Amino acid sequence: MNLRAAFLECTGDLWLNVADKLSDERGWTPVYWTGAQRMRPTVMRRFPQAVFHDNTEAVKGRPPADGGPWSLPPIDDGLLADLSRTESIALRMMDRIDADGSFTYHERLELYYRQVRWASAVLDRLRPDVVVCSSPPHLVYDYVLYRLCLLRNVRTVVFNETAVNGLILASPTFEADHAALQSRYRRLVDDGEAVRPSPSVKAYLARIEGDYAQAVPGYVKDLYDYQPEGRPPAAAEATTTERVVETARERLRWNPLGVVEKIRRGAARIFAPRREAEEKAKIHETCARLQSMLDETSRLNPTALRQALDCTMHLYRAIETEYPVHLECGLPPPETYLKQFGVPPEDSQLSYVEYWLFRSLGLRKKRELARDYDRAAQPPDFSRPYVYVPLHYQPEASTSPLGGSYVDQGLMIDLLSKTAPDGWQLYVKEHRFQFDKKGSGDQTRAVDFYRRIAVLPNVRIVAGTTSPFELIDHARAVATVTGTSGWEALLRGKPALVFGRAWYAGCDGALSVETVERCTAAFRQLEAGLRPDPDKVRLFLRALEDVGFRGYTIPDLSADAGVEPTENVRGFVEALCEPAIDPDAGAPCALPFVRKVR
């Protein structure tokens, strides 16, 4: 089977090994590859015929460095009409590119048109037979290319990681229910199959049905164990004059006068006409203080050094990520697709100082959002009927594109609020990572978000420390776009109201409620006492084991999957190559590249 293949967002050894096996064993030829720039030398060495596209450049709308000049074809009204829903989702998806809230509608539209032209050029010039998406496409360029493939009947395969023991689903599209999974599930239910969970599933069920402390995913534990609290050790140890001077020189490895001027220019570019005068004044005041303190630093004044460290410490915390940033004027700019104020995305390149300033201000906004949330939070009243609404962390693929219009979670809450029975409440709880310093939660939450939903008469924001399982267990149902909380609710005996394309949407007790009519009907069912059938939920888990495969896309998730690297690669290769089998008809399904039902 000689196929020309495009690999989207495929960074890491896994995808190189998968492509190698597909090439050696199946005759696949990679013709287009997008991923982190560090992948380029290896990809080009192994697959010299492929066009490699740095994904940061692709998001910006820049052509790849390889492959010579590209001629972008024109687009017309007919094509744009066919992609109208794609456009609305892609424009909102661009929030992750917007560094400071200045990315206007017209600028977004121009970038979208550029991405449509680029996707058309890739399909016209490289003519891939299959496009492999390592995850649901969510970086604009890959989403537009994926949607254009569906329009042109180019085969696509999308890998979707579930939250269950490393099980992964491969599907031709994320918009439709997974056909093989649903078919297998219906057959298990119709045949009256006994529930016989495997040992690994028994262990998984014990965690999910027990205390929340035992059910926290491993990657979440790692995330929060990783973060040191408080001041960085180097600053905390600065107790003597000599240590203060040494710490300052290590932290402030720059030309003081030059960096302050860069901060001023960066602040003016990022804040000028978009920020209030008060905010700009604070920035300039901080710059003036830093200028004065750094002037004193040049004379090795220990007091001024301590003040300079204190003045800037909160800014350093903003950039303490898994990729520590050292502020140094001579360093190359960071690899980021964030857009500069007043500069087209394809020409944008934040300097180190601008990126530092962006992260610092993002941290400030997240702290303000966290304060707003805490002020609005109230204790839950478990004696009242309520629906638990755990919010998603954003920006993420789980809401954009998997949520469609409900990428705006305020829209979901408003619909629930206005269709809920009299006397019912909605208990809304924020995702713990939304305010985290390593995340990008500042780019997707408006400053008035919590106030806007808290004014709804039957909505109550609950404290972030409230146990998720306690909220699930006392609720009449859990409402979510595509979140794992919906699946956990089903396993704990509560219905799930699903607004997006969740992998578990076809399970007993999961109700798709994306319209007013469906949402109203779901509440009537809840009032009548709807509960998921525990045996049917476990049969859905059995169907997931039968249709999915155990694997991982990043090493951090390998523990959940429990497979060796070679077995992991083999799982992806088989999922890409084996045709789906309709269990009822015993014949291949029309949907390509879905794992065979066992």
8 A C-beta contact, residue 356 and residue 319: yes
Kindly report, residue by residue over 539-549, the tens digit of the pLDDT.
999 999 999 99
Provide the pLDDT for residue 259: 44
Bigger pLDDT: 559 or 565? 565
Q: What is the pLDDT of residues 469-491, one digit of tens each?
A: 999 999 999 999 999 999 999 99
Q: Which long-range contacts (CB under 8 A, 24 or more apart) does 270-273 make?
A: 270/99, 270/100, 270/102, 270/340, 270/341, 270/354, 270/357, 270/358, 270/361, 271/100, 272/341
Q: What is the pLDDT of residue 229?
A: 36
Q: Find the mean pLDDT for residues 180-187.
A: 92
Pairing of strands 155-161, 130-133: parallel
Look at the pTM and tell me if it is higher than 0.85.
no
Highest mean pLDDT among 67-76, 144-153, 198-207, 587-596: 144-153
pLDDT tens sequence across 416-446? 999 999 999 999 999 988 988 778 888 888 8
Q: How far apart are CA 329 and CA 351, in angstroms?
A: 9
Whether 588 shows a pLDDT value over 70: the answer reads no
Predicted pLDDT of residue 281: 56
More confident residue, 104 or 201: 104
Phi, psi of 26, rounded to the nearest 5 degrees: -120, -5
In angstroms, rounded to a whole number, what is the distance separating the alpha carbons of residues 543 and 79?
39
pLDDT greater than 60 at residue 456? yes
Mean residue pLDDT across the chain:
81
CA distance 471 to 468: 5
Percent share of the chain, pLDDT over 90: 55
At residue 561, the pLDDT reads 79
- Would you say residue 262 has pLDDT above 50? no
Mean pLDDT (whole number) for 225-237: 37
pLDDT over threshold 60, residue 594: no
Between 360 and 256, residue with greater pLDDT: 360
Q: Give backbone dihedrals phi and psi of 112, rounded to 5 degrees, phi first.
A: -60, -45
- Taking the C-alpha atoms of residue 401 and residue 140, their distance in angstroms, rounded to an integer, is 9
pLDDT score recorded for residue 420: 96
Helix (H) or strand (E) holding 582: strand 581-582
Instruction: Provide the greatest CA pair distance for the chain.
Output: 84
SS3 587: strand
* Distance in angstroms (rounded) separating the CA atoms of residues 54 and 37: 5
What confidence tier does 529 reach under pLDDT thresholds 50, 70, 90?
very high
Instruction: Tell whether the model's pLDDT for residue 106 goes beyond 50.
Output: yes
Q: Is the pLDDT of residue 26 over 50?
A: yes
Judged against a pLDDT cut of 90, whether residue 273 lies above it is answered with: no
pLDDT at 71: 87
Alpha helix stretches (DSSP H) within 233-298: 233-236, 241-251, 256-271, 277-297
First to last CA, the chain: 23
Res. 258: pLDDT tops 60: no
| pLDDT of 525 above 50 | yes
The angle subtended at Cα 560 by Cα 559 and Cα 564, nearest 5°, is 55
* Tokens read off for 476: 């009449």
Note the pLDDT of residue 253: 41
Render 338-355 in DSSP notation, one character per residue.
Answer: PBPTTS-GGG----HHHH
Q: Are strands 549-550 and 29-35 parallel, antiparallel or unpaired?
A: unpaired
Q: Residue 30: CB partners within 8 Å, gap ≥ 6? A: 5, 6, 7, 19, 23, 43, 47, 49, 50
At residue 326, the pLDDT reads: 40
CA distance 492 to 205: 9
More confident position, 348 or 334? 348
Computed over its alpha carbons, how large is the radius of gyration of the chain?
26
Burial 138-169 (b: 16+ CB within 10 A, else e): bbbbbbbbbbbbbeeebbbbbbbbbbbbbbbb
Average pLDDT over residues 526-546: 94
Confidence of residue 50 (pLDDT cuts 50, 70, 90): very high
Residue 158 or residue 308, greater confidence: 158
Q: Which residue has the tokens 């209030």?
A: 276
For 287, residues 6+ apart whose C-beta sits below 8 A from its C-beta are 260, 263, 264, 267
Q: How many whole angstroms separate alpha carbon 580 and alpha carbon 564?
A: 25
